[in-house]
Amino acid sequence: MGRRKKEAPSAHREHIAAAAAQLFQARGIDGASMDEIAQAAGYSKATLYVYFANKQEIVSLLALQSMQMMYKCIAQALAQPDNIRDCYQRLCQNLLQYQAEKPFFFQMVLTKINGLAEGQPCLPEEKSTYEVGEDINRLLVDYLLAGVAKGELRPDLKPLPTIFSLWGMLGGLIQLANNKELYISQAMELPKEQFLAYGFQLLYSSIAN
């Protein structure tokens, strides 16, 4: 603990949040107490409260981290200015990799992040999370508009409702394939990868021109 005392407060917060993420993944957010988080992180409960006032602050930091990972995932997929379908396929593969490597954080993006109510107080991390989400929306809207301009995507698409719907369907499809892999294998006689490839193509067909 002597070495840790010399670390910046942000390093302590990161360390505590990482320990909390492991507990939350194993037990759910409601299933882990601040006492257990402190123990897992190697801090006393009193020291834990120096860095986080409550569990919601920890969850808010993890939500921000999940959105930052998502931004990187999407930005990398759309960075190369090749054809629209190739970008979409890279996006699907990046999302699959994100879910496989960071399942807890991927789930957080789907379930724990909402908009900000106007005039209501919020944590700094909640505001930052919202801002990252808006950056993601801009990336995807630009991608969609580029596809329409190139004639590869339908001209009647409404940008923001389309990207929000597409994100929900892609995220849901990935989670479904992960949760129902045995059923997909037995009932459909398909490996998960083939089922996902079919689903991804089906979704792209809904926006393709």
Structure letter (DSSP) for residue 86? H
Does residue 4 have a pLDDT over 70? no
Count the Cβ atoms, other than its own, within 10 Å of residue 123: 16
Q: At what angle do helices 55-78 and 34-41 cross, to 10 degrees?
A: 60
Structure letter (DSSP) for residue 31? G
- pLDDT tens for each residue of 141-197: 999 999 999 999 999 999 999 999 998 999 999 999 999 999 999 999 999 999 999
Domains of the chain with CATH codes: 1-52 (1.10.10.60), 62-207 (1.10.357.10)
| Confidence at 17, pLDDT banded by 50, 70, 90 | very high
- pLDDT tens for each residue of 94-131: 999 999 999 999 999 888 666 666 667 788 898 899 99
CA 2, chain centre distance (Å): 35
Residues 6+ apart with CB under 8 A from 61: 13, 17, 52, 125
- Nearest CA to 128 out of 67, 59, 55 is that of 67
Does residue 36 have a pLDDT over 80? yes
CA distance 52 to 77: 34
Q: What is the pLDDT of residue 7?
A: 77
pTM across the whole model: 0.88
CA distance 149 to 143: 10
